[in-house]
Amino acid sequence: MTFEGHHAPALWLVVALIAVVTAVGTLVDVQLGAVLLAATLAGAAAARLVLRGRRPEGVAVRSTWADVTVLTALAVGIGVLATSPGV
């Protein structure tokens, strides 16, 4: 099995952003890291909504609406928990 010619820049961008979010959450501030994670998920949801079909590669897993719903719900949930006082 070869993977020549297979490029998924959106997947690599999400992986890089999650690595940055992890570093920020570990080294700087957990709340900031969580907010950045919510923003990353919201960005992935927006990209999935705008780029229909099987794009963006690596982010498109199910149907467009299923992907957008799951990514948006995760972004909202993490965002609410990250910005709630006392959590």
Tens-digit pLDDT profile for residues 55-87: 787 777 888 899 999 999 999 999 999 999 886
DSSP label at 56? S
Domain layout of the chain by residue ranges: 32-87
Q: Is the pTM of this model over 0.85?
A: no
The Cα-based distances of 10 to 1, 29, 30, 64, 80 in angstroms read 22, 26, 25, 15, 25
Q: What is the sign, positive or negative, of the torsion defined by CA atoms of 10, 67, 38, 28?
A: negative
Element (H, E) at 76: helix 64-83
pLDDT the model gives residue 1: 47
More confident residue, 11 or 19: 19
Residue 51, pLDDT above cutoff 70: yes
Residue 36, pLDDT above cutoff 80: yes
pLDDT the model gives residue 4: 55
